[in-house]
Amino acid sequence: MKTSGANNEAHQNSRGSENTSQPYNVADGWGTHVRLHNDRVIVNDDPSSAVRGIARRLNEVRGIDHDSLHDHIDDTIYELIPKQPELPQSPPPKGERLNALFVANWGGLADAGGSTNPEKDISAPWVRRHAHEWPARFGINPIYKFYTGDSPLFYIYNPVSYMDPETETVKLPDSITWKINGQEVHKGKYLQLHNVTPTDARKVLTVDIANEAGVTSYTIMYVIENSDDDASVENFSSEYQGNFIYDPTADDGKGKAVFHDDPRYQPRRVKFKVHWSDYGNGKNTRRNFNERKPYIKIDGINYIDMLEYGFDGNVHSIRNGNDLEIDKTPTLAQIASGSQPHTFYFEKPPGPLSLEIGTQFNYSKGFKRKKRVFYKKYEYHIDLNASLTDIIDFGQINVGKTDSKR
């Protein structure tokens, strides 16, 4: 076999110019029975030799720093280490401020269900405008109530699938699916309905927040009613002249409902006149209409002595039924001013409107006592896009009569 360059160099240095084409003994470092011949190592093969076939050479050993050695040696037994589990390992988590289902633009609670925090009155009237998330956070299965024309808003606050431990970033859910009575209606972080109408029964809303590991679900109930039937003057949007809209950048990117003013919900000015059926004829004498003070209810609230009279903004005091009957012979001054008596004004924001007018009096005495009842319910819907400057004129409202025993 070939010798290394270092050995050749050592040999040349020790023998100088000696001829190496003939076999010669190598004494230095190789043993006494080792010879070189034409750069080949020849080992003594004499059976009688005690060192037959044995050659030795010197090893060059370099020193290694102990600390440096440990820095470069990994003694981990990789086959015994379990693989890093794939994320996510569980469905999206639930929390009061994490993947929470909040509701906005509600008009009230059909069933509050109680509060988990005695200091939080989730049924307080101001809550729906300034703390709309309280029923979801502190309520026990609250049932939300909306009114005709409202824009119910349901949204997921701070949607999270999991936290990536390496990048420390939040991963969003793969999907958020909304269902009403089991039927899928929308996908996304929020669901907003617009200009809703009354429902025959309560609705069931379900939202599924999903990732690869599973699904987290919420289920709530809500109902839509006519505000007039619920003794409420206005729906949410009309009362506050605006509504909540979902903003994905709000609350440091967690997403939240933010209130926006909407000038379209400003009240419109409405006017009307009243005429009793057959006023002044037969039993319908002016004297009989003096007996009882009438009523005018707007959305279930009695507005008698609260209605404006003419264009000057003065409130007209109504003493009896004669004060409601239209004046068929206005004065010249009244005609010139355009402000005839018995024309009533009030303001009403967009949405359904009910106007009830009535009175009654007794017209027969003695054994056959009878009463005459006048009643009229006039219904109207003020459109959201109706003019803000034009007056809505109901014209003359004719109020019919019925007779009954006292």
Report residue 36's pLDDT band, with 50, 70 and 90 as the boundaries.
low
Q: Which of 272, 270, 293, 294 is nearest to 357 (CA)?
A: 294
Confidence at residue 10, expressed as pLDDT on a 0 to 100 scale:
44
Q: Would you say residue 299 has pLDDT above 60?
A: yes
Is 144 in the same domain as 192?
Answer: yes
Give the C-alpha separation, 236 to 197, whole Å.
Answer: 14
Is 216 in the same domain as 171?
Answer: yes
Report residue 328's pLDDT band, with 50, 70 and 90 as the boundaries.
low
Mean pLDDT of 307-330: 80
Q: Could you give the percent of the chain with pLDDT greater than 90?
A: 54
Q: Do 372 and 403 meet the contact criterion of CB atoms below 8 Å apart?
A: yes
Report residue 146's pLDDT band, with 50, 70 and 90 as the boundaries.
very high
Q: How many domains are there within the chain?
A: 3
Q: How many CB atoms lie within 10 A of CB 87?
A: 16
Cα-Cα-Cα-Cα dihedral of 192, 263, 344, 359, to 10°? Answer: 20
- In tens, the pLDDT along 90-122 reads 999 998 889 999 999 999 999 988 899 999 999
Q: Would you say residue 270 has pLDDT above 50?
A: yes
Final residue of a structural domain among 28, 52, 81: 81
Cα distance from N-terminal residue to C-terminal residue, the chain? 138
Confidence at residue 233, expressed as pLDDT on a 0 to 100 scale:
67
Could you tell me if residue 253 is inside a domain?
A: yes
Is 299 in the same domain as 185?
Answer: no
Final residue of a structural domain among 246, 265, 284: 265
Is 224 in the same domain as 282?
Answer: no
Mean pLDDT check: name the lowest of 12-16, 184-188, 287-291, 359-363: 12-16
Range of the domain at 137: 100-265
Confidence at residue 9, expressed as pLDDT on a 0 to 100 scale:
47
